[in-house]
Amino acid sequence: MGEFDLIARYFTRPARRAVLGVGDDCALWQPQTGMQLAISSDMLVEGRHFLSTVSPQRLGHKALAVNLSDLAASGAKPLAFTLSLALPRIDEAWLKGFSEGMLALADLHQCELIGGDTTQGPLTIGITVFGEVPPGDALLRNAAQAGDDIYISGSVGDARLALEVFRGNLSVSAADFESARQRMEQPEPRVALGMSLRGIANACIDVSDGLAGDLGHILKASQVGAVLTTDWIQDSAAISAALQALPFARRLDMALAGGDDYELLFTAPPDQADAVQEAANDCDVSITCIGRITSGSGLQVLDAHGVPMSRRFASFDHFS
Ligand code: ADP
Ligand code: MG
């Protein structure tokens, strides 16, 4: 099988909303009048962003999920994506699983694969997603206001827990490992929640490098500070049963600096608390209030007694 058969068999489907999909020099897309495009790219490199043990289905899912998560963080509605793929060799079983995992998630979000590039090389997956959002409605990092509540969707720390088990640094029950592994390998992008938070949330970001570090991006862009509580790490929807079984300090680390969570971290004024909760209920996603934006600068994490902790929570940096 050659490059073009591969594209035809695994990555070409009839165009739906696209004017022209895979197969020509360019795809063609007719933007809806008056909408803004939201565009984001994310790349996954074997050994860097995923372990070679991951199943091709789950990898296909995750590669698209991390991109959809960026659209979610902007409050954008997914439209289409392109896929740039470097493959060491043509492995049909792998391609079948990978494309099925990816296209199942694409269908779930009605996000159409409209083009890409395929080449030989170390396994690398680059995706660019396109979404739409009404002008002025996109959720940005720079819009947090002093006094805002800070929320996290779903749960954090599970992907890191699974990674530590894979690395042999931690052992947990088989059931806890399986659920954490599922969270690491098949994150659910919070697309519906992001769209529902338009006009309700102030700032928003998706958590990929770790909650504390990603909150830092909001604080810097918005020129504000934040105080995080830690009572929610004792007991809340944001901490899974798997994480709950670990000692507090370890849990705290994984929740605040674990990374790979793909949850939405957002701020909203206290008078929007009911609207925030309603949006979360409508989307069937749990949310947890974890702190407050302040007029200061930097991040303070309070211990169980309300005393600021001296330690810092490093976020993931590919070049450090
Ligand atoms: P060109 O040489 O004009 O860049 P290619 O030969 O790379 O085009 O690709 C042929 C067609 O297949 C193009 O429409 C391109 O967008 C599409 N394509 C290539 N690789 C992929 C892929 N991995 N997924 C989806 N579409 C792809
Ligand atoms: Mg090309």
Is ligand 1 within 6 A of the CB of residue 205?
no
Tens of pLDDT, residues 39-68: 999 999 999 999 888 999 999 999 999 999
Please name the residue whose Cα sits nearest to atom 12 of ligand 1: 23
Tens of pLDDT, residues 98-128: 999 999 999 999 999 999 999 999 999 999 9
Is ligand 1 within 6 A of the CB of residue 118?
yes
Measured CA angle at 100 (ends 111, 72), to 5 deg: 30
pLDDT at 180 over 90: yes
The whole-number pLDDT of residue 263 equals 98
Please name the residue whose Cα sits nearest to atom 22 of ligand 1: 116
| Cα 45 to middle of ligand 2, angstroms | 20
Question: Rg (Cα) of the chain, in Å, rounded?
Answer: 20
Report the C-alpha gap between 89 and 119 in whole angstroms.
Answer: 9
Tens of pLDDT, residues 67-104: 999 999 999 999 999 999 999 999 999 999 999 999 99
The whole-number pLDDT of residue 311 equals 79
Tens of pLDDT, residues 261-307: 999 999 999 999 999 999 999 999 999 999 999 999 999 999 988 99
The listed CATH number (3.30.1330.10, 3.40.605.10, 3.90.700.10, 3.40.50.10540) that belongs to domain 3-133: 3.30.1330.10
Identify the band that residue 236 occupies on the pLDDT scale cut at 50, 70 and 90: very high
Measured from the Cβ of residue 60, the count of other Cβ atoms closer than 10 Å reads 27
Specify the 3-state DSSP secondary structure of 181.
helix
Task: Determine contact, residues 154/235, Cβ cutoff 8 Å.
Answer: no
| Cα 49 to middle of ligand 2, angstroms | 24
The whole-number pLDDT of residue 58 equals 97
Task: Determine contact, residues 242/160, Cβ cutoff 8 Å.
Answer: no
Ligand 1 site-directed mutation target among 67, 81, 117, 120, most atoms within 8 Å of CB: 117
Is ligand 1 within 6 A of the CB of residue 98?
no
CA distances from 161 to 176, 260, 295, 305 (A): 9, 11, 34, 26
Specify the 3-state DSSP secondary structure of 23.
coil
Report the C-alpha gap between 155 and 71 in whole angstroms.
Answer: 19
Task: Determine contact, residues 267/217, Cβ cutoff 8 Å.
Answer: no
Which ligand lies nearest to the CA atom of residue 85 in the structure?
1
| Cα 117 to middle of ligand 2, angstroms | 5
The ranges assigned to domains in the chain are 3-133, 149-301
Q: Is 193 exposed, middle or buried (0-12, 13-18, 19+ CB in 10 A)?
A: buried
pLDDT at 313 over 90: no
Q: Is 149-301 in CATH node 3.90.650.10? A: yes
Is ligand 1 within 6 A of the CB of residue 235?
no
Q: Which two tokens stand for residue 164?
A: 């530590």
Is ligand 1 within 6 A of the CB of residue 229?
no
Measured CA angle at 272 (ends 197, 75), to 5 deg: 10
Identify the band that residue 320 occupies on the pLDDT scale cut at 50, 70 and 90: low
